[in-house]
């Protein structure tokens, strides 16, 4: 194993990003909002646009030159004010899980949220049966805000648990 590091992905990284995103969707179809079939059909331009950094940031976790994980923070499309950033797409290759790399994901996304001044809060959610996500979310200071039933892409109907982090407060203490 080489040095594992996290960096922002750019539009030039779209092919490796696409490959790992499709792998994540195929391995865990119920844990993401997107569906494998829709992502697979997406044209190259859409993959590149996701990586343009405009109101969003997608990070890649690398072991040497090999992409082993992805995570993202986007402007929440459900907030018409544009003041909410939402965490999404977190995936780490199975052989690399349980080694503390989720900490890098949270640190990078929270740091980006603090620096991206249009946002006043960050939101994240997880499926009720995803205990590792719940533990990571709570460990990083997010506060539970509610839950709702959701039909997941794998056909299961489970609660989605939602959390927020107050960026205004975080900026005032940093």
What pLDDT band is residue 1 in, cutting at 50, 70 and 90? low
d(CA 31, CA 52): 25
**37 or 115, higher pLDDT:** 115
Count of domains for the chain: 1
What is the per-residue pLDDT across 60-105, written as a single tens digit (0 to 9) for each? Answer: 999 999 999 999 999 999 999 999 999 998 999 999 998 999 999 9
pLDDT value at 120 more than 80: yes
* CA of residue 164 relative to chain centroid, distance: 14
CATH at 45: 3.40.630.30
Is residue 12 over pLDDT 70? yes
Burial class (CB in 10 A: 0-12, 13-18, 19+), 157: exposed
- With a pLDDT cut of 70, the percent of the chain lying above it is 97
Please give the residue range of the domain that contains residue 99: 4-173
Any alpha helices (H) in the chain, and if so which ranges? 14-27, 36-41, 44-50, 101-115, 131-139, 167-173
Residue reference for tokens 């960096």: 7
**69 three-state secondary structure:** strand
| pLDDT of 59 over the 90 cut | yes
CB 91 within 8 A of CB 28: yes
In this prediction, residues 112-129 reach a mean pLDDT of 95
Quick: pLDDT tens for 21-42: 999 988 877 666 778 888 888 9
């Amino acid at each position: 194993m080489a040095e594992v590091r996290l960096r922002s992905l750019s539009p030039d990284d779209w092919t490796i990003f696409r490959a790992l995103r499709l792998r994540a969707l195929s391995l865990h179809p119920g844990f993401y909002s997107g569906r494998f079939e829709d992502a697979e059909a997406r044209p190259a331009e859409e993959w590149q646009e996701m990586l343009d950094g405009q109101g969003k940031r997608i990070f890649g976790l690398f072991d040497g030159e090999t992409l082993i994980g992805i995570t993202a923070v986007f402007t929440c499309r459900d907030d018409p004010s544009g003041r909410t950033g939402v965490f999404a797409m977190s995936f780490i290759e199975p052989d690399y899980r349980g080694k503390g790399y989720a900490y890098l994901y949270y640190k990078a996304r929270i740091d980006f949220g603090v620096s991206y001044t249009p946002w006043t809060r960050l939101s994240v959610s997880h499926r009720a049966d995803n205990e590792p996500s719940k533990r990571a979310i709570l460990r990083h200071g997010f506060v539970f805000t509610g839950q709702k039933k959701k039909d997941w892409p794998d056909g299961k109907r489970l609660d989605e648990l939602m959390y927020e982090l107050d960026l205004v407060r975080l900026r005032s203490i940093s």
